[in-house]
Amino acid sequence: MKRYVAGAGSMMLLMTAGMFLWIGASGQEVVIPEAPPPPELTEPEGLPEADEMAPALGPPPPTPPRAYKASREERRFNRYDRNRDEVITRLELMSSRTKAFKALDEDGNNLLTFEEWAVATSDRFAGADANGNGQLTRSEFRSTRPKRTASRCKC
């Protein structure tokens, strides 16, 4: 009950302060300065006219450069090369492998242990890394491409 009385009292004080501010502001006379006169309108001189010998059309606009169309293999490489340094590190390769998660989870518990992940992926990376420096170049990455299977019509 004390809260309600205190709240009502504070509301009354706020309303009283607001009334004093409102009355005080309305008693002041605000002087609005006179607006400057509008500028005088002058007749425009008109548009410039071309010389009789001037060509009717200007030079054609420059041709925009053609965009480079990446091959399928380059798009696949760029999907893994997250920082665009033209080299795929082991971390970059493994971060994009979310589609293969279920294939890597051998015990089917929806948890991928380090052992499950390392056995399945490290061998493939090591097989593709021909010079053994821990990085895949574009030519080394081509060897990781999945083998194409003959597509069958599901008619």
- Alpha-carbon distance values, 151 to 17, 76, 148, 155 (Å): 82, 20, 9, 12
Q: Which CATH architecture has domain 72-142?
A: Orthogonal Bundle (1.10)
Give the pLDDT confidence of 70-110 residue by residue, as tens digits.
888 788 888 888 888 888 887 777 776 655 666 777 777 76
Q: Could you tell me the pTM of the whole model?
A: 0.28
pLDDT of amino acid 136: 84
Query: 77: closest CA among 69, 86, 68?
Result: 86
Yes or no: say if 138 and 86 are a contact pair by the CB < 8 Å rule. yes
Helix (H, G, I), strand (E, B) or coil at 88: strand
Q: Could you list the pLDDT tens digit for every one of the 155 residues in the chain?
A: 888 899 999 999 999 988 888 777 776 777 788 888 888 877 767 777 777 887 778 788 888 888 888 888 788 888 888 888 888 887 777 776 655 666 777 777 766 677 776 777 677 777 888 888 888 888 888 877 777 766 666 66
Q: Residue 108 is encoded by which pair of tokens?
A: 């089917």
pLDDT of amino acid 153: 62
136 φ, ψ to 5°? -105, 125
